[in-house]
Each structure stands twice: as C-alpha cells, then as structure tokens.
Structure 1
Amino acid sequence: MLSTTPRTTLGRSKNRGLTSREDLYAVLDAGLVCHLGVVVDGFPMVVPTGYGRIGDTLYVHGSTGATSLRNADEVCVTVTHLDGVVLARSAFNHSLNYRCAMVYGRVRRVSGEEHLAGLRAITEQLAPGQWDASRAPTGKELAATTVLALSLAEASVKVRQGPPIDDEEDYELPIWAGVLPLHQVWGAPEPDPAMTGDLPVPAHIASRATPVR
C-alpha cells in the first residue's frame, strides 16, 4: 500500500486516489519525463527531466553544474499522463482524463555502482535496450553527471477516467458532451545524417516505432 502522510493524503476528489504500490509503478513505468520540484534561493523551481526506476527508488540525472540538482534536497517529483479532454455541458464541469504520480522525499547523491545503475535505468526508461547498444560512458562523462536517488516511500497516485459528470439539470441541454481522447505514439525512426554507413534500425528501436503507411 502507498503511504498516507499529510502530503500524500488527497484533500479533494478522494475517489480518484489509488492506494496500490503497483498503481504507482504503472504510472511511473509508462512515462518518459518527470518534473522535479526543488527550492532555489527561497523560490520554487520545476524542471522537466528524464528518470528511471529500480525497485522502490527513482533516479534523475543532470549536469553537475545544474542549479536544480545542486540545490536539490527535499523535493517533489511528478509524472503525469494526459489521456483525454473531458467536455461537459457546462464549462465548470469540464475536466481531464489523466494518470498522475507524486513522490516526496529527500534525495541522495549517488556514486560508484549505484551511479552507473541509475544512469542505466534512466536510459532504459527512454529506450529499452539502448544502454547495451551504446558506448559506455567515460570516466570524464560520469564525473560531469549528477545522479539523484529518491525513495518511493512517500507517494500518491491520482487517476481520472471516463465521461463528463454534469449537474443533473444540465443533462437535458442540447449540448454535445463527451471525451476527446489523446494518444501518444512513436513515429518511424529518423537516422542521423552523419551516421557511418547504411546501418539498419536496431530491433529494440524498430519494435517501438509506428510503421510508415
């Protein structure tokens, strides 16, 4: 079960909250970009970045010189999937279909084997199979990259799916209502013009691509 701390307890729309840790994993594992919220000089900063998960630990990375990572201590990380726009009969009852996870906690700056494992997890989150297909990072590249680890101990999941919910008296209005679904799909791979030779698209990349029609 997910934690029930003051920060993860829903104040509104409690019926949209999910409490299974498997629900948390599903939202995180389906994403590509998270938003890392930190406080810099007393002001909030929210930075989009790639991430990866190993068990109950989330990893994010960036340049050692990045202001957001240098100031990261207590953070909030969010991952959101927009699945559709919900169009109601009244403007007030318009909504979104979505899946969202929020994780709170104090980050750790990792090193050694965990540093490398975190980078691998982030790479594999974006493109499964790519870590082994790529050149391994050099010592200089590793030294220039900060990896932060965040425990998933304190997290919440909120989901909204389904048709609009209107006021009872509005259902008789002659106004179209429903859901405008949103789907994210991969396109066909576009080779780098500077690539040496006419290399075929690797199987781990081709398997995710949308066929050209």
Structure 2
Amino acid sequence: MTEWYRRKTWAKIDEEEFFAKLSRARKDGRAQYLKIQAIELVSTQNKELLRVAEKLLNKMLTEYPDDNFNKSSALYTLGDIYKINEDYKLAIGFYKQALDFETIYPNVRTQAYLDYSELVVKTNKLELFDELEKILLERYSGLMFPIEKYKVNSILSILNKAKGYQAEARKYADLAEKSVTTETSGLRYHKYLGVVQERDNWLDNLVQL
C-alpha cells in the first residue's frame, strides 16, 4: 500500500486525506512529508500536479522556515518544476538558492549544482560562466559517479572553450568522453549505479571542438 505522503494523484479525497494525516503527524516531521509528497507529484510531470507540488513546497518553506534539513531539497525541487515548465530563468534562480543554502548548511546536498550548471550553459548565460566554473571546480574532487563526471567535465570543456582556452577545453572533453565509456561505478555493492545510460546530445554538441 502506498504511503499517505507518496501519492501520484491529487483528487479531492487525496488532498483531504493527506492534510488530515499531516495534521496528526509529529510537528518535526511535517516539513519532510510536504516535501516528499511534492517530489512524488513532480515525478509525474503532469502540469496540474506540478502546480499542486509548487503549493506544497511553498507551504513548507513558509510554515517551516527553520527546517534546515529539507530546505535545499525543497528549493531544488522548485527548480525542477520550473525547468519542466521551461521557465528557465526561475529554474536557475531556485537552483542557485539551493546551492547558496548548501554553502551555509552543507550537511544535506542535492544535485542542484548539476542542474544549475546545465541550464546556465544551455541557455548561454555568459555572465554566469566564471561563477559556474568556480562552483564546479570546488566540487570536482568529490565527484563519484561516471554520469556526474561526464556532465561536469563536459560543462568545464564548454566554459573553457567560451574563454578561448582550447587546451583546457580539450582536456575536459577527453575526461568527459572517458566517463561515458566507464562501465561500472567503482562501488562494491552498486557496480552500475550512476553509469552513463544515455548521452546528452545537447551537451555533446556544445563540447565539440
């Protein structure tokens, strides 16, 4: 049976049951339930359910402003909502808010840095390139999975290409290509976690030297 805060639908009965159970839940867990329910609705990519998810996340951020554990994830998910809706300006803004919060509260980190990076280069926000390179280089040593290495190295190649640094651009492009062909994650019990299943054609085209 699906947990009450993991619904993929939002009929009147869903809404009523969810908020009834939320009101009976422990206060210190309510922010998390709102966030998880929103993420479940976002996963459907249904426009109407995206609006519901947005309301749930805004409710969480407004009513539980001191919940540091769930805040960056909520901001990141709002970024996802706007990205799906192709409102890239707002998406970039929320991803950046998530990133900024993670510098203050680094105990919980999301993939906001990666989605932020992709949108910045894909929308050609040249004014953000220097800051973006700094963010990626700060995270570089902590990259674990081939998919992350593929995307980060691709983006660093694009950034260096834009600055005219062809040698650096080539170096990162080669590293990105190496990550694509990496067949295992290197983890003992999760050998195939985070390997590249599908190339990003948009990124690949931007990387071409």
TM over 0.5: no
TM bin, normalised by shorter chain, reads under 0.3
* Larger helix percent: 2
Larger relative contact order, structure 1 or 2 (CA cutoff 8 Å, min sep 6): 1
- Larger Cα-atom Rg: 1
* Larger strand percent: 1
TM-score normalised by L of structure 1? 0.27
